[in-house]
Amino acid sequence: MATDRMLIKTQDGNLILAGGRPRGTLYAVYTFLEDAVGCRWWTSTEEFVPQKSSLDIQALNIDYTPPISDFRMSYCFDVNKNPAFAAKLKSHGFFQDVKDHPEWGGGLIIKPSPCHTYYWLLPPKKYFAKHPEWYSADKNGTRFFKRGQLCETNPEMKKEMVRRVNELLSQPGNSGYITICPQDWGGDCQCSKCLAAAKAEGRSGPMVQLANYVAREVVKDHPNAKIVILPYNQCQDPPKNIQCAPNVLFEFCTSGFSMANPVNAEANKKGFATFMAWKNRNPISHFWVWCYNAVYQDFLQPFPNYPMAAANIKIFAANGVKGVMLQGDGYTTVGDFIRLRAWTIAHLLWNPELSYADLEKEFLEGYYGTAAPFLKAYMDLMENTAKRQDIRMMMWSWKSIDFLSPEVLAEGAELFKKASAAVKNDPETQKRVEREKAPLIYAAIMFTLQGKMNITDCPALGYKDCRQAIDDLERLFKTWKTGLLAENAGNNTPEERIRIMRSLLRTDNSCPDLRIPTLRAKASGDLTKVDWTQAAVIEKWKVLLTGEEFPEQKRIGRLAHDDQYLYLQFQEETDSAQLDPDFWTGDGWELFFASERGKTPCYQIAIDPKGKHIDYAWKISMIKGGTPKKWDSGAVIKVDANSKIWKVSIALPLDKITPNGINTHGKLYANFYRRTPAPGKNTAWSPNFQENFHLLSRLGELSLQ
């Protein structure tokens, strides 16, 4: 029998519960208890078991094998950490503790890790000193491993990779799956062979060629082994010509997809075409999907895409996907209806034909009782508000509550007040309702701290001031033993989030302004002719999240203009050799310009430590799911750097950033961000109070004199 196949039958007065090994029989038991008896396991600690003096069993004849058969993973904290609960929800993915508990059916084990494994397999600490040629080369031929990758074309590295994979496959307890894929950053090898392979096949080509080589070698001793690769980020597009070897399995990642839309919607047209290209290129391969369903920089914010996971699961099943990792808020116990999501997603992964609307209704009514209609109205309010603004909800960049408004928050607070009142005689259910209010409280606090409203504009919340609201949110965090509130950010713990909020109470949250003088002698774009002593000076830089002054590094900005060009200079005391060169996640500057605060079009210039820059024009902001176009900024950039100073000077044609001309008041709007790889250390001229450079409502004002 197939691994998860189950049989539920009545025959000759007997009840037969059976299934494949190791989980089929267990799943048959739980399915019978749920569907025939009426048991419900809402969470790992909260369940409903009907009280019956006798059990009348109707005729049953169920023979079911789930279409998503290799693994199903509802990636949420409660499911991940509680094997018995995971088994009841039939979730058995590689990040879940159930995998190490055969008494609960076990789960999928992937060695050495499910993702980003180049350095797991060939750790630089062990190999780099003796074999630097196994690791990335920069454009000058210098080998490096810090935020680098493997040299995927190196023949000796490939042989050692085969040895290491065979070693892992020979260990007891392995399930035959080995992941081979790049680290979760840039740093691709720039040697001539890797560049030639990438040019011939695309960036994923060298990864697939490496995986194919290893797969064909290890199958000699391990005929059932599977090599897993991840089409992700720079490797998301398939190779132009080559196919995966028969024992190479790809796990497509939905990075870059809008989580507010089904994966096959117009908003995800390009990404879905890529998914189908991988599928069609490798018709004999089993394949999996790693689908993102959370904003990983902030699990606490409202995230109203409730039915999207259901739509996507149906699409994946219809396209023959055999394993799905539905990555939700896996680090926290407090978020936007995370228990409802965990429960509904798990049921849909087991049976994609179920109705999300029916499952949602069942959970709301079963778990929240008479508060259900008010909570449903709140969810609809949030979802419809996001839809009206066509918010895309991207996994990293959509870190914003700006789709909300004070009026929506006030209406949401009223609905929660009614929900709480509906269960006032049921203390346990009332606690559940109060916990689900945390994202709304958080959004109201942040709107207040950003000067968009006062907390008393939501009278149904019942707070006399913002300090009281923060205290109450802290109480909720402690009551529910909240885990991490972000995956990779400087404000990921509840304690740090509360500290930041309290610091913002003492912070001037107004947007800054600066008068930009005219140079007495035109420089006409020539940086050598700019007299920087005539420039306006920015001396105060703020921590992006908190608005606190940043004391750790001496940094200064200078701005001037000559009616043709805007001149900018950013200087700080630092050893430039220690700056991280990774373009989007390392050290650098990002500059944003717009003719009006809070409105597009806007223009972005990103600059790395050596002066390389990428320029984008945004007609629709990233927060609303816009896609940028490359923009010819006309910028002239000069970098002066040594062991003590890093100085970036820029000449920027004014007509490029204000294509319709400077407004009648001689003003434009801008922000300047100093990017750093250190969590929580990003700084700005105008702080955004969140890890998001694209918040146009926080642009400072530049007055050209």
Q: Tell me the per-residue pLDDT of 268-292, one tens digit each, with 9 for 90 and over.
A: 999 999 999 999 988 877 899 999 9
Mean pLDDT of the chain: 92
pLDDT, position 623? 64
pLDDT of 489 above 60 = no
Tokens 């228990």 correspond to: 339
Asked if the model's pLDDT at residue 492 lies above 70, the reply is: yes
CA distances from 20 to 23, 279, 655 (A): 6, 28, 69
CA dist 21 → 1, 29, 173, 223, 464 (Å): 8, 14, 16, 21, 59
Higher pLDDT, 593 or 394: 593
Instruction: Please answer whether residues 6 and 30 qualify as being in contact, where contact means their C-beta atoms are separated by less than 8 angstroms.
Output: no
Query: Pseudo-torsion of CA 238, 239, 244, 249, nearest 10°?
Result: -30
Give the pLDDT confidence score for residue 508 in this predicted structure. 73
Strand partners, 70: none
CA distance 623 to 251: 27
Residue holding tokens 């609307």?
A: 357
> 349, 313 in Cβ contact below 8 A?
yes
DSSP E strand stretches across 467-535: 513-516
Q: Read off the pLDDT of each residue in 364-386 and give the average, rounded to a whole number.
A: 97
In 317-416, at which residue ranges do the beta strands (DSSP E only) sit?
323-327
Average pLDDT over residues 397-425: 91
pLDDT of residue 584: 84
Task: Give pLDDT, residue 486.
Answer: 87
pLDDT score for 399? 58
Q: CATH: 2.60.40.1190, 3.20.20.70, 2.60.40.10, 2.40.50.100. Which one for 513-704?
A: 2.60.40.1190
State yes or no: cis peptide before 373, omega within 30 of 0. Answer: no
Listed in sequence order, the residues at least 6 apart from 103 whose beta carbon sits closer than 8 Å to its beta carbon are none
Beta partners for residue 607, in sequence order: 589, 613
Residues of the chain with CATH 2.60.40.1190: 513-704
- Burial code (b: 16+ CB inside 10 Å, e: under 16) for 275-288 equals beebbebbeebbbb
**pLDDT-above-70 percentage for the chain:** 97
Nearest CA-CA partner of 72 in 37, 98, 44, 102: 98
pLDDT band at 583 (very low <50, low <70, confident <90, very high): confident
Q: Which two tokens stand for residue 351?
A: 């049976």
Q: How far apart, in whole angstroms, are the C-alpha atoms of residue 304 and residue 270?
A: 23
pLDDT in tens, 612-636: 999 999 987 766 667 789 999 999 9
374 residue type, one letter: F
CA neighbor of 293 nearest in space, from 320, 316, 318, 273: 316
Cα dihedral sign, 221-180-81-303 = negative
pLDDT level of residue 661 (50, 70, 90 thresholds): low
pLDDT over threshold 70, residue 592:
yes
Instruction: Report the pLDDT averaged over residues 367-385.
Output: 98
CB 301 within 8 A of CB 391: no
The model's confidence at residue 504, banded by pLDDT at 50, 70 and 90, is confident
Query: Bridge partners of 41?
Result: 47
**What's the pLDDT tens digit per position in 634-643?**
999 999 998 8
Q: In angstroms, how far is CA 269 from the centroid of its own chain?
A: 20
How far apart are the C-alpha atoms of 144 and 189, rounded to whole Å? Answer: 9
Q: What is the 3-state secondary structure (H, E, C) of 168-204?
A: HHCCCCCCCEEECCCCCCCCCCCCHHHHHHHHHHCCH
pLDDT reading at 369 higher than 60: yes
Give me the pLDDT at residue 362, please. Answer: 98
Q: What's the mean pLDDT in 582-590?
A: 89
In the numeric block, which tokens belong to residue 705?
């004199």
Whether the per-residue pLDDT at 328 is higher than 60: the answer is: yes
Strand order in the sheet with 323-327: 71-75, 323-327, 287-292, 248-253, 226-229, 177-179, 110-111
Please tell me which residue, 211 or 655, carries the higher pLDDT value: 211
Q: How many separate helices (H) and strands (E) can be counted in the chain? A: 19, 26
pLDDT at 490: 59
Which helix (H) or strand (E) segment is 700 a member of?
A: strand 700-704
| Residues above pLDDT 90, as percent of the chain | 77
Is the model's pLDDT at 361 over the cut of 90? yes
Which has the higher per-residue pLDDT, 20 or 392?
20
| CB neighbours of residue 629 within 10 Å | 10
pLDDT value at 18 more than 80: yes
- Nearest residue to 379 via CA among 427, 333, 340, 346: 340
- Integer angstrom CA distances of residue 152 from 203, 270, 574: 11, 27, 34
C-alpha separations of 49 from 29, 41, 78, 348, 363 in Å: 14, 9, 20, 22, 15
